[in-house]
Amino acid sequence: MPQLEDLGWDAGFQQSFSALAPQDLEPARVVTEHRDTFVVHTGDGEYRAAPAGRLRHAIEAGEAPHPAVGDWVAVRARRAEAAATIHAVLPRRTAVGRQAAGRPTGEQVLAANVDVLFVVTALDGDFNPRRIERYLTLVWDSGALPVVLLTKTDRCDDVEAHRAQTAAVAPGVTIHAISALAGQGLESVRAILQPGRTGALLGSSGVGKSTLVNALVGSHRLPVGEVRADDGRGRHTTVARQLIAIPGGGMLIDTPGLRELQLWSGEEAIDRVFEDIEEFSGACRFEDCRHESEPGCAVQDAVRDGRLDRERLASRRKLERELEFEASKRDAELRASRSRKVRQMHRQLNTFLEQRRRVRGGES
């Protein structure tokens, strides 16, 4: 049974816990998330858990984070019932977030306290350099270290060509080509997942994430679905995010396949993903050059002479516009929220003044 240290607990988390939690609580890590219920591991076993009432109200008010897989939390365990109550969420070191579905300005945290994020893409119908750029923007923004896994090498006739395409859109990022079914390249993944280290898998449906987990664990821990022959896409076989212990290694978070990945933030991360464009832009005549039609634009010069892929520049612009749009929506909601609070204060003040007038009128 994994101990707290095996789950990633260290002196830094202990310091945060000591400053945050009363003595009658104990640390635990969220290993599975099912909407508003969770499974946590305290080091001596797993417990079904739910937030305490006070924490739930703080979450609803936006004053506390909603627990996510990988979070360290302060709990009160009821061992006889195999249950626990979550009273606080410890500060996160990293957080993998995206625009929440159905919420115009809300963030959904997919995983927390992740050391390395594996961007998984299959060398069949799934391979898409533009999608890799989008995922890498999310990874760099999370604070985790990115690694690209090119899966299903047994189905690809030219692995090195795909590796070269990936390297062109992932400057400075480690790339591993693997086949979980054939057992090829798995040692490179195990070498990254050292004891106490947490990784997470990020990719669309059908890229082989669950197959990879099963290969690393050495058993059919997760169900594996069929992949459509026409486009290489699969159905969601992982329906809940969960943290899984790798024998002899660290922890791995498997996430459901993402059909759509809307970015939440990442302005600085875009510069990391598009380092080549940043290097070209240093030679532009104007510091605020938008690389469109400005004279002396070194980026446009690089596109014209073939040193920079035109589609890569278009991809960056698309991501920048998306982030600008999301930021504008959040600003609009913030302004609306402030207006609501001002109106509420005015109503309360008017009510108070009216009550005072009535009291004074009665005294006279």
Based on the domain organization, do 239 and 280 belong to the same domain? no
Structural domain contains residue 261: no
Predicted local distance difference test score (pLDDT) of residue 228: 44
The pTM for the full model equals 0.79
Predicted local distance difference test score (pLDDT) of residue 101: 52
Buried b (16+ CB within 10 A) or exposed e, 94-120: bbbbbbeeeeebebbbbbbbbbbbbbb
Based on the domain organization, do 295 and 281 belong to the same domain? yes
Of the ranges 198-212, 254-268, 341-355, which one carries the lowest mean pLDDT score? Answer: 254-268
Q: SS3 for 302-330, per residue?
A: HHHCCCCCHHHHHHHHHHHHHHHHHHHHH
Q: Which of 16-25, 123-132, 154-163, 234-243 has the highest mean predicted lDDT (pLDDT)?
A: 154-163
Based on the domain organization, do 244 and 284 belong to the same domain? no
Mean pLDDT score across all residues of the chain: 85
Percent of the chain whose predicted confidence (pLDDT) is above 70: 82
Query: Looking at the predicted structure, is the pLDDT value of residue 103 above 60?
Result: no
Last residue in a domain, options 225, 254, 283: 254
Q: Domain of 172: which CATH number? A: 3.40.50.300
Last residue in a domain, options 71, 89, 107: 89
Predicted local distance difference test score (pLDDT) of residue 50: 96
Torsion angles phi and psi, residue 201, rounded to 5: -105, 130
Of the ranges 157-171, 191-205, 262-276, 327-341, which one carries the lowest mean pLDDT score? Answer: 327-341
Predicted local distance difference test score (pLDDT) of residue 236: 44
DSSP H stretches of helix in 225-309:
267-273, 275-281, 298-304
Predicted local distance difference test score (pLDDT) of residue 70: 96
Confidence of residue 229 (pLDDT cuts 50, 70, 90): very low
pLDDT tens digits for 30-47? Answer: 999 987 799 999 989 999
Q: Tokens 């606080």 label which residue?
A: 88
User: Is-contact 147 174, C-beta < 8 A?
Assistant: yes
Report residue 341 as tokens: 């609070």
Query: Looking at the predicted structure, is the pLDDT value of residue 239 above 70?
Result: no
pLDDT tens digits for 291-339? Answer: 988 899 999 999 999 999 999 999 999 998 888 877 776 555 556 556 6
Structural domain contains residue 26: yes
Based on the domain organization, do 104 and 239 belong to the same domain? yes
- Total count of domains within the chain: 3
Asked whether the CA dihedral 24, 27, 31, 37 is positive or negative, the reply is positive
Percent of the chain whose predicted confidence (pLDDT) is above 90: 59
Structural domain contains residue 102: yes
Predicted local distance difference test score (pLDDT) of residue 338: 64
Based on the domain organization, do 183 and 235 belong to the same domain? yes
Q: Domain of 292: which CATH number? A: 1.10.40.50
Structural domain contains residue 30: yes
Based on the domain organization, do 218 and 187 belong to the same domain? yes
Based on the domain organization, do 287 and 173 belong to the same domain? no
Structural domain contains residue 108: yes
Structural domain contains residue 191: yes
pLDDT tens digits for 43-101? Answer: 899 999 999 999 999 999 889 999 999 999 999 999 999 999 999 999 999 998 765 55
Based on the domain organization, do 164 and 228 belong to the same domain? yes
Based on the domain organization, do 114 and 185 belong to the same domain? yes
Structural domain contains residue 354: no
- In angstroms, rounded to a whole number, what is the distance separating the alpha carbons of residues 299 and 280? 5
Q: Domain of 66: which CATH number? A: 2.40.50.140
Query: What is the rounded radius of gyration, in angstroms, for the C-alpha atoms of the chain?
Result: 25
Based on the domain organization, do 124 and 237 belong to the same domain? yes
- Residues 24-29, mean pLDDT to the nearest whole number: 94
Based on the domain organization, do 38 and 63 belong to the same domain? yes
Domain assignment of residue 70, given as a range = 11-89
Structural domain contains residue 299: yes
Q: Would you tell me the crossing angle of helices 159-169 and 129-142 to the nearest 10 degrees?
A: 50
Based on the domain organization, do 48 and 130 belong to the same domain? no
CA–centroid distance for 143 within its chain: 10
pLDDT tens digits for 115-155? Answer: 999 999 999 878 999 999 999 998 998 999 999 999 999 99
Specify the higher pLDDT residue, 96 or 354. 96
Query: Looking at the predicted structure, is the pLDDT value of residue 199 above 90?
Result: yes
Predicted local distance difference test score (pLDDT) of residue 27: 95
Specify the higher pLDDT residue, 214 or 268. 214
- Residues 208-235, mean pLDDT to the nearest whole number: 67
Give SS3 for 257: coil
- Residues 177-194, mean pLDDT to the nearest whole number: 94
